[in-house]
Amino acid sequence: MIVKDELLGTLRRHFDLNLYEVKLWTALLSRGVSTAGELSDIADVPRSRSYDVLESLEKKGFVVMKLGKPIKYIAIPPGEVVDRVRKNMNVEAQEKVKRLESVKGSTLMEELETLHTQGIALIDPAEMSGCLRGRNNLYNHLDLLIKDAKKSVNIMTSDTGFMRKAEGLRPSLEKAKKRGVAVKIMAPITKENKMVADSLKAIAQIKHTDKIKSRFVTVDSKDMVFMTLDDKQVHPSYDLGVWVKTPYFTTAMDQMFNSLWMQK
């Protein structure tokens, strides 16, 4: 049996299997019922590993061990496998979330916070910078900075970026507003995003501008994230931002932002 590497790779990603598991599973699917030795030969998996791998597949719900000798394995229909894997993934995800939730407020969290605080204290402020690759990472870091904001959050963005930030950062911006943080957003306000702008008026001051094409966020005149690429010409996975912690540079950007804000 020859299965293309591309198919094997796709199955590994979708079903969270290793190479030996996916090879033996597809080999068994092609036979329906088979012994470990036969599957080992078909799938080109070492016999010394085939029993362990098939046992793993059995635990994950991909195969059933047939009673009798020699030991044989029966393939579960693919549709049923999908349902089982989905159910198992949901259970595992819920358990992981519970474990993470239990960390909050625990002594473990206190130890982690202490380690981080002590570590940050030893770092030269000039080294507090980083590259943020991919739009998800960008927004996760923006969310982190906004959660810690105490005085101001200034956002300069594009028309489409305005809608993305309204969706992705709204909860953090709402909490920042309740803490007394001044939130200002400048972006091109268009027919497409005007309703979004109206929905944010209780959270932020919003001003239309199409004079400067730029994307950046400053927080408390200390932290800044600026995006280096045009969001209309880059795939979200390849979007790129730079985070810097520098009051000197960030204050200058805030002065430029506020100067543009005052213009009619």
**Model pLDDT for residues 117-137, shown as the tens digit of each residue:** 665 555 455 555 688 999 989
- Of how many residues is the chain composed? 264
Asked whether residue 257 carries a pLDDT value surpassing 90, the answer given is yes
Mean pLDDT over each residue of the chain, to the nearest integer:
88
Examine residue 46 and say whether the peptide bond preceding it is cis (omega within 30 degrees of 0).
Answer: no
- CA pseudo-torsion sign 242, 114, 99, 174: negative
Token readout for 175 is 């909490």
> In the chain, where does the domain assigned CATH 1.10.10.10 lie?
5-90
> In the chain, where does the domain assigned CATH 3.30.870.10 lie?
128-262
Nearest Cα residue to 226 out of 126, 128, 132, 125:
132
Burial class (CB in 10 A: 0-12, 13-18, 19+), 28: buried
pLDDT tens per residue, range 69-98: 888 889 888 888 888 888 888 888 898 888
The CATH number assigned to the domain with range 5-90 reads 1.10.10.10
Share of the chain above pLDDT 70, in %: 93
pLDDT-derived band at 101, boundaries 50, 70, 90: confident
**What pLDDT does 212 receive?**
85
pLDDT tens per residue, range 196-240: 999 999 999 999 998 888 999 999 999 999 999 999 899 999 999
pLDDT tens per residue, range 42-62: 888 999 999 999 999 988 888
What is the helix, strand, coil percentage profile of the chain, to 5?
A: 55, 15, 25
More confident residue, 202 or 3: 202
CA distances from 256 to 88, 161, 218 (A): 52, 20, 12
Token readout for 62 is 């991909």
CA distances from 5 to 23, 26, 34, 42, 122 (A): 10, 12, 22, 15, 48
Q: Of the ranges 105-109, 180-184, 243-247, which one carries the lowest mean pLDDT score?
A: 105-109
Share of the chain above pLDDT 90, in %: 49
Q: Are the C-beta atoms of 227 and 125 separated by less than 8 Å?
A: no
With H, G, I as helix, E, B as strand and everything else as coil, classify residue 63.
strand
CA-to-CA distance for 86 and 160, rounded, in angstroms? 34
CATH number, domain 128-262, options 1.20.190.20, 3.30.870.10, 1.10.8.10, 1.10.10.60: 3.30.870.10
